[in-house]
Amino acid sequence: MATTAGYSGTPLLQKLGVKDQMKVQLLNAPGDYFTLLEKDISYQITTKREVPDFVHLFAKSIKEFEKEMAKLKLVIKKNTKIIIWVSWYKKGAGIDTDLTETVIRNYALKNDLVDVKVCAVSAQWSGLKLVVPLAKR
């Protein structure tokens, strides 16, 4: 039986919404990312010249989160239908971090993004899905 993150019983790949045709960009992903997904999607990873359809950013601090999101602003302008998942350490993971769901949500709202879904990515990581609002696409 497949393992799943969280309590829903839904495989992580499905929770995140990664489709076979999507170009994927990973930022600071843990070494076991494909194991968490239960699928090797390395063939979908973008080159530097490609604009991704899906980004999964793992950030350990507010500083790292804001730095990576600033880099993504140009990508978002090129693809307003982009899906961005931001993952941060769960409180119970035993790792000290200043990054929280509230910080990510507030940043998103100030930068023309909205959060539409939250999920458990692993025992250590939570995730928040950010998108450009329909009215701004």
pLDDT tens, residue by residue, 51-91? 999 999 999 999 999 999 999 999 999 999 999 999 999 98
- With residue 67 as reference, give the H or E element that holds it: helix 62-78
- b/e for 22-37, b at 16 or more Cβ within 10 A? ebbbbbebeeebeebb
Fold of 12-136: Rossmann fold (3.40.50)
Beta partners for 27? 57
Beta partners for 114? 131
pTM over 0.75: yes
- b/e for 67-77, b at 16 or more Cβ within 10 A? ebbeebeeebe
